[in-house]
Structures are given as structure tokens and as C-alpha cells.
Amino acid sequence: MEVDIESKCIQKGVRLTEQRKLIAKVMSESESHPDVAELHKKVGKFDSKISIATIYRTVKLFEEAGIVSKHDFKGSKSRYEQAPEEHHDHLIDINSGEITEFVNEEIEKLQKQVAEKLGYKLVDHRLELYGSKIKK
């Protein structure tokens, strides 16, 4: 079970406001990877006064606190997801935009090896697969 975002804020010393609680709730309940506009829209159902600037400030704050992760997939706006317990990468359906998460230890290992062979310590990486559904 994932610890909810609100708990993580407390744990990280992030001050909780009504707006932040609401954004946290909406993000926790998103099964997808919403962008700022989508978050603003969803949050707006509960608090129509909330400003888009607050959404921007909050996702940035959460990201800097390690509570959410930001992704910039090809050809779309920044998307956010609750920071996962263990790392995963993404496969994006080029037709529907649907996002599937996956983990592949073998690739992870090879990436580290490649970096080391080139004289680098691997600090971060980005792996995204873009594909189209195979119809059975």
C-alpha cells in the first residue's frame, strides 16, 4: 500500500493548506498521470476559487520534496504522478496516450554498466518506450 501524499507532506515538513490537501487528494486518486490543466480542472470541482498558479507552485513543491515525480513525455505537457516506492519506467501508447509502467532489472543494470564504461557514475536516467497496441 502506498502512503498517501498528505502523510508524506507531514513527514517531510511540508506545510499543509486546504489547497495542498485538495491537490494531494486529487493526485492520490488519479490512476493516470495528470498534467497541470487536468489537475486544475479536477481540483476545481471541490474548490472553484483555486488558482492555476497554486497548482503549479504545489506540484513543484511536491516534486522538490520528492513526493511526486514529473515526466515530460514526447509531444505533451508535463505530467505528474505520486513518487513511486520503487523505480519504474513508462511505455506510452502513441495512439491513445495511455501510459503503462514497467520495470526491467536487466535494462537497469546495463544502463549502469554503459555509464561506467564511459567513465560516468549514473545519477539519473530516462527511459520511455513509445508503441502501438498489437491487435490480437
Per CB under 8 A, 130 contacts its own copies: yes
Work out what residue 57 binds among DNA, its own copies, none; the CB cut-off runs from 5 to 8 Å by kind. DNA
Q: Which CB contacts under 8 angstroms, 24+ apart, belong to 34-38?
A: 34/79, 34/80, 35/76, 35/77, 35/78, 35/79, 35/80, 36/77, 36/78, 36/80, 37/77
Q: Is 91 in the site for its own copies (CB under 8 A)?
A: yes
Query: Of DNA, its own copies, none, which one does residue 16 interact with (CB within 5 to 8 Å by kind)?
Result: DNA
Task: Find the shortest distance in angstroms from Cβ 120 to DNA.
Answer: 26
Binding-site partner at residue 126 among DNA, its own copies, none, CB < 5 to 8 Å by type: its own copies
Beta carbons of 90 and 76 less than 8 angstroms apart: no
Retrieve residue 106's grid coordinates: 536487466
Taking CB under 8 A as the criterion, which residues in 10-69 touch its own copies?
Answer: none
